[in-house]
Chains A and B, each alone.
Chain A
Amino acid sequence: MSSAPATAFGFVHRKRRGAELLLLLLALCIGIGAYAIVGLAREGAVPTDILGYGGGLAALALVAHLVVRFRAPYADPVLLPVVVALNGLGLAMLHRIDLSLAAAESVFGPFAPDQLLWSAIGVGLFCLVLFLLPDHRRLQAFTYTFGLAGLVLLLLPLVPGLGVEINGSRVWIRAMGLSFQPGEVAKVCLVTAFSGYLVVNREALALAGRRFLGMDLPRGRDLGPILVAWVASMSVLVFQRDLGSSLLFFGIFVVLLYVATERPGWLVLGGLMFAGGAYAGYLVFGHVRERVGGWLDPFSNPAYDQIVEARFGLAWGGLLGQGLGEGSPTRIPFVWSDFVVAALGEELGLTGLMAILLLYALIVERGLRVALLCRDAFGKLLSVGLATTFALQVFVVIGGVTGLIPLTGLTTPFLSAGGSSMVANWVIIALLLRISHQARRPDPEVRAPEADDATQVVRLR
C-alpha cells in the first residue's frame, strides 16, 4: 500500500479490483486444476464435467467479484481470492473422497454435490450481505437481537426432537431431512453482539481495579459479563460435549474484552477461568478425558483410530505428498468433516498443508489489518472478532488433527463438508469486506462544502 498515492488530505487507498480479479483467476486455477488432477489420478482422464464444474465455480467467483466491485469497491482485494482457492480445493478433495467412498460402496457420501450447492448458497448470502448492508454500523443497533439469536441457536441442539447427537457431540439439529450445525451461525451472531455490547460498555469495563503483578485487574462489580460468557461456554461443554465450540466462544469474548478495554488483565483472568473450567471438565467428564488420552498417546487404544490414521496419513504424505487421488485418506473415519486437512496433508504433503495454513493465516492477517484501518470502534471490534474466530477455529481444528492439542470437534472453514459452516464463513468474509470497504474508502468529509449545498437530511435508522 506504500505505493498508494498520497493526496493533500492524507492517505487514500486504491480500489485494486483488477488485482482481485487476477488473484481470483489464480485461485480458480487451483480449484479447477485440483478437480482435473483428481479425475486423472482416479479415473485416468480429466472428468467429463470439468467444463460445467469449472464454469460453475468461475461463475460463483465472478458474481462475488462483481458484487464486491459495485457494492464495496474499496474492500480488501486479497480475501475473496484466498477464500475461493480454499473453497475450490475443499470441493476437489471432497470429490476425491466421494470417489473412494463410492468404490468402497460406503453408506456415506457423496459430499461434493451438496458442498457445491452450499458454496453457491454461501456466495448468495455473501452477495446479500453486501447488498443489504451498506454500512456495518447498522448492525450495532441489533446488539441484543443478535445476542439472543446467538444464544438460541447455540442451545437449539438441546431441544428434544430437534437436536441430534453425532459422534458424541450434540451440536446438530435435523429438520426436514437436512442437518445443520447452528453453532456455526451462532458464532457470527455472538461476535456481532459482543462487539455491540463492548462498544457501549468498554469505558466502565476499562476502569482499573486492584493492581497485581504490574497488571490492573478489573473491578469485582464488572465481572458480570465475563461470568455470563463463562457459564454459557461451560454449559456448551457440559451439555453439548463440544470442547471446541466452548473454547471458541469464550476465547472470542475474552479477546474482544481485551481489545475493547486495552487491559491485558482480562486475558489473564479469562485464560485462568477457561483453564479452570477445562480442568474441572477433565476431572468430571469422560469425553474430555478421552480426548486428552487420544492426544497424549493415540496408539494406546484402538478407539483413537481416527487420530492414528490421520497421523499415518500425514506421515505417508511426507514432504511432497502422494499426489491428489493417490493416497488413502478414506482410511481415516469421517475424513470429510473435521479431518479433511489430514487428507490434504496426505495427498498434497507438507508443502500443501503449509500452503493451506498460510492461506488461513492470510485471511486472519487481512482481517486484523481491516481492524487496524477501521475508523469506528464497533467496526474494529467486529473485524477483530471475526478474524480471531478464524484464527482460533483453524488453530483448534488443525492443531487437533495434527496432534498439537487435544482433538475437539470443529469444522475446517471452507474445506470440511457441511453447509452451516460454509454459509457462516462466507458471511464472515462478506462482513470483513464490508468493514474493509468502509475503512479503506476515501474519507467523505474531506470534500470542502460548497456554498449552495443544501442542508442534507440524514436519515437515521
Chain B
Amino acid sequence: MNKPIRVLAVGCALLFGALLLNANYVQFVRADELNDMPENRRVIDAEYARERGPIFVAGEAVAESKPVDDRFEFLRTYGPRPRVYSHITGYYSYLYGASGIEQTENDILSGSDPRLLFNRVIDLVTEEQPKGGNVLLTLDPAAQAAAHHGLTALPEQAKGAVVALRPDTGEVLAMVSMPDYDPNVLASHDFAATADAWKRLTSNPAEPLVNRAIQQRYPPGSTFKLVTAAAALSSGQYTPESLVTGQATYTLPNTNIELGNAGRGSCGGEQITLTRALAFSCNTSFAKLGAEDLGAEALRNQAQAFGFGQDVFDGLPNSVISVFPEDPDDPQTALSAIGQFEVAATPLQMAMVVAGIANDGTVMQPFIVAEERSPDLNTLEETEPEALSEAVSPSVAADLRQMMVEVTQSGTGGVAAIPGIEVGSKTGTAESGGGRDPYAWFVSFAPADDPEVAVAVFVEDANVPASEISGGGLAGPIAKSVMEAVITP
C-alpha cells in the first residue's frame, strides 16, 4: 500500500503548496490594493491613531492633532478661527473621510508619503509613534480674515466666495466660501454628534460644505467683458480709444430681441470709446463687439487663454472647469460676450483673469500649498511658481490695466478706490435665471503700477431688492478690504 501513500503525500504537498501560494498572494501581492479600499476601516483607524501633521498659515496652525485620552489618542482641531479656514483645511472625519487640504495632502499629513518612509523606518526602530508631515499654505491671514469678515457681514442667507491671488506667482492669498462650517464638529470623536452635524450640513439647501470658490461655476456677467475687451485689443483692430456703439439698445442678430443696458439708457453717446464702454459696463457695446466683429471663436480662444476649459487648480479637491459655450449662434454669442448665456466661471477663474491682466498678460498656475515638510521640519517640496499661459501680450495687458483703473476712477467701480493707491476693477451683475436674485461680481487688482493682489468676489442671494443688487455695491467693499489687507503691511 506504500505507492498510494506516496502519491497521497505528493497530493498533500500540493494542497499545502496552494495554501502557501495563496497566503503570499493575499498578504503580499494584493496587500496594497486591499489596504487602499475605502471600506477598509483598519487603515483609517491606524491613521486616526497616528499623530497627524499640522497645516500652517503664516506660522499659525490652522489644523493640528492634539493628544486626547481616548482610543484614538489624537483629536484633530482647527485652530482659533475654524470657520475662516473651513473650506481650505476641510474636515478630517472618522465617519465621513476628509476634504480640502486634509484630503489632497493626506499622504503628507498622515505620514504615509513615500518621502517620509525614512522617518517611518527610524520610528519603527526607536519605537516612536510615527508622525505626519507639515503642510504650509500660501494664504495671507489678514486677507483671509478680511474676505471672511466681508462675506459674514453681508445680510443673512447671503452666499458667496472670495478668491485673492498674487498675480506674479499664482499664490492663493485668500479663499473663502460662504456659508462656512466648523470642521471641529466633523472631526469630533463623539460620533453621534458628528453624524448629527453631518446630516444637518448635507441637508442644508445652502450647501455649506461646498467650496463656492472652486466647486461651483456661475455666469460671470459683466466681469467677462474683460475677456471680450482682451479679445478685441488682441485682434489688433482695436485700441482703448477705438469707437464702439454706445446705444441704449442692441437688437440681437437675426432676432427681434432688444438687449438694453443696466441703467436702461445709452452709455453716453452713439459712439463711445472702448475704455468708456468698459468703465460704464456698456452691454450694447460688448454684445455687438462680440457677435459682429470678434465672433464666438475669438471669444472662446481668449477665454481659454485665461484658463477656461481646463482644470487649472489641483490644490483642493473637486474643482470644476470654467466653460465658454460650445457652438453658440450669433445672438448667443452676443450674450456670451457679456458673460451671460452659457458662459460659466468659478470665482477662482475670474480672479485668474484679473491676475493675468495684472501680471503683464501671463496667467500663473494658482497654488495653495507653499511647502511640504517632514515631521522634523526638513523641506520635502517647495512649490515653484509656474506660468499657465500667456493670455494677452504685455502691451494689451497694459491697456487693459489702464482701462480698469478708469473703471475705478470714473466708472462703476468707484467703491473699491483706495486713497493714494491706483486700483483697477470691474463690476458684474449676472442674471442667475429662474427668477432668483442676480449674482453680484467684483474683480479688481492693486496697486495698478505694480500689482500685488488680484481679487474676485462673488455674492448670491443677498436678500436685498433686485434693483439694488450691483456688483459694485455688494461685492466691491469686500474686494477693497481684501486688497487693503494685502497691500498694507
Contact digits for B33-53, partner A, Cβ 8 Å, 1 yes 0 no? 111010111110110000000
Sampled A-B contacts (21; CB under 8 Å): A255-B8, A259-B1, A259-B4, A262-B3, A313-B42, A315-B30, A315-B31, A315-B40, A316-B40, A317-B27, A318-B27, A327-B42, A328-B42, A345-B27, A350-B27, A354-B20, A360-B16, A377-B1, A381-B1, A395-B16, A399-B18
Q: How far is the CA of A384 from the CA of B4 in the complex (A)?
A: 10
Interface membership of A403, Cβ < 8 A: yes
Known: A331-B41, A357-B19, A371-B5. 18 other contacts (CB 8 A): A259-B4, A262-B3, A312-B40, A316-B35, A317-B27, A328-B42, A350-B23, A353-B27, A358-B16, A361-B16, A364-B12, A365-B9, A372-B6, A380-B1, A381-B1, A384-B8, A388-B12, A391-B12
Interface membership of A156, Cβ < 8 A: no
Q: Which residue of A lies closest to B3 (CB)?
A: A262
Is there an interface contact between B5 and A350, defined as CB atoms closer than 8 Å? no
Is there an interface contact between B20 and A357, defined as CB atoms closer than 8 Å? yes
Q: Which residues of A contact B129 (CB under 8 A)?
A: none
Q: Which residues of B contact A377 (CB under 8 A)?
A: 1
Interface residues on chain B, number (Cβ under 8 Å): 36
Nearest 4 interchain pairs by C-beta: A315-B34, A350-B27, A315-B31, A404-B22
Q: How far is the CA of A137 from the CA of B4 in the complex (A)?
A: 21
Q: Which residues of A contact B35 (CB under 8 A)?
A: 312, 315-316
Interface membership of A218, Cβ < 8 A: no
Is there an interface contact between B19 and A312, defined as CB atoms closer than 8 Å? no
Taking each of B13, B27, B40, which has the highest tally of chain A beta carbons within 10 Å of its own beta carbon?
B27
Q: Which residues of A contact B2 (CB under 8 A)?
A: 372
Q: Which residues of A contact B26 (CB under 8 A)?
A: 311, 314-315, 402-403
Q: Which residues of B contact A415 (CB under 8 A)?
A: none
| A315 → chain B closest CB, angstroms | 3
| B47 → chain A closest CB, angstroms | 12
Q: Which residues of B contact A316 (CB under 8 A)?
A: 31, 34-35, 40, 42-43, 46
Interface membership of A398, Cβ < 8 A: yes
Q: How far is the CA of A348 from the CA of B16 in the complex (A)?
A: 19
Is there an interface contact between A319 and B28, defined as CB atoms closer than 8 Å? yes
Interface membership of B379, Cβ < 8 A: no
Is there an interface contact between A404 and B8, defined as CB atoms closer than 8 Å? no
Given contacts A357-B16, A357-B20, A395-B15, contact A349 B5 (CB under 8 A): no
Q: Which residues of B contact A387 (CB under 8 A)?
A: 12
Contact digits for A357-390, partner B, Cβ 8 Å, 1 yes 0 no? 1101100110010011000010011001001100
| A291 → chain B closest CB, angstroms | 17
Is there an interface contact between A399 and B22, defined as CB atoms closer than 8 Å? yes
Q: How far is the CA of A364 from the CA of B16 in the complex (A)?
A: 10
Is there an interface contact between B8 and A259, defined as CB atoms closer than 8 Å? yes
Interface membership of A260, Cβ < 8 A: yes
Please classify the interface of chain B as helix (H, G, I), strand (E, B), loop, or mixed, using the class held by over half of its residues: helix
Q: How far is the CA of A399 from the CA of B33 in the complex (A)?
A: 20
Picked from A311, A361, A381, the residue with its CB within 8 Å of the CB of B34 is: A311
Q: How far is the CA of A258 from the CA of B11 in the complex (A)?
A: 13
Please classify the interface of chain A as helix (H, G, I), strand (E, B), loop, or mixed, using the class held by over half of its residues: helix
Q: Which residue of B lies closest to A311 (CB)?
A: B34
Q: How far is the CA of A311 from the CA of B31 in the complex (A)?
A: 9
Is there an interface contact between B22 and A402, defined as CB atoms closer than 8 Å? yes
A-B contact count (CB 8 A): 121
| A343 → chain B closest CB, angstroms | 12
Q: How far is the CA of A403 from the CA of B41 in the complex (A)?
A: 20
Q: How far is the CA of A311 from the CA of B35 in the complex (A)?
A: 10
Interface membership of B395, Cβ < 8 A: no
| B147 → chain A closest CB, angstroms | 43
Q: Which residues of A contact B28 (CB under 8 A)?
A: 318-319, 350
Taking each of B7, B12, B32, B35, which has the highest tally of chain A beta carbons within 10 Å of its own beta carbon?
B12
Interface membership of B24, Cβ < 8 A: yes
Picked from B5, B9, B20, B37, the residue with its CB within 8 Å of the CB of A312 is: B37
| B21 → chain A closest CB, angstroms | 9
Interface membership of A407, Cβ < 8 A: no
Q: How far is the CA of A404 from the CA of B27 in the complex (A)?
A: 13
Q: Which residues of B contact A260 (CB under 8 A)?
A: 1
Contact digits for A283-324, partner B, Cβ 8 Å, 1 yes 0 no? 000000000000000010000000010011111111100000
Q: Which residues of A contact B39 (CB under 8 A)?
A: 299, 308
| B307 → chain A closest CB, angstroms | 40
Q: Which residues of B contact A327 (CB under 8 A)?
A: 42
Given contacts A262-B1, A372-B5, contact A314 B27 (CB under 8 A): yes
Q: Which residues of A contact B5 (CB under 8 A)?
A: 259, 368, 371-372, 380, 384
Q: Which residues of A contact B40 (CB under 8 A)?
A: 312, 315-316
Q: How far is the CA of A211 from the CA of B390 in the complex (A)?
A: 85
Q: Which residues of B contact A349 (CB under 8 A)?
A: 27
| B333 → chain A closest CB, angstroms | 50
| B340 → chain A closest CB, angstroms | 47
Q: How far is the CA of A317 from the CA of B16 in the complex (A)?
A: 20
Q: Which residues of B contact A380 (CB under 8 A)?
A: 1, 5
Q: How far is the CA of A365 from the CA of B43 in the complex (A)?
A: 38
Given contacts A262-B1, A315-B30, contact A357 B9 (CB under 8 A): no
| A325 → chain B closest CB, angstroms | 14
Q: Which residues of A contact B23 (CB under 8 A)?
A: 314, 345, 350, 353-354, 357, 402
| B422 → chain A closest CB, angstroms | 61
Q: How far is the CA of A258 from the CA of B5 in the complex (A)?
A: 9
Is there an interface contact between A318 and B31, defined as CB atoms closer than 8 Å? yes
Q: How far is the CA of A136 from the CA of B39 in the complex (A)?
A: 53
| A324 → chain B closest CB, angstroms | 16
Q: How far is the CA of A361 from the CA of B16 in the complex (A)?
A: 7
Q: Which residues of B contact A354 (CB under 8 A)?
A: 20, 23-24
Q: How far is the CA of A383 from the CA of B212 in the complex (A)?
A: 74
Q: Which residue of B lies closest to A391 (CB)?
A: B12
Query: Of residues 136 to 187 in B, which have CB atoms within 8 Å of A's CB atoms?
Result: none
Q: Which residues of A contact B20 (CB under 8 A)?
A: 354, 357
Query: Of residues 213 to 227 in A, which have CB atoms within 8 Å of B's CB atoms?
Result: none
Q: Which residues of B contact A399 (CB under 8 A)?
A: 18-19, 22
Is there an interface contact between B19 and A315, defined as CB atoms closer than 8 Å? no
Q: Which residue of B lies closest to A388 (CB)?
A: B8
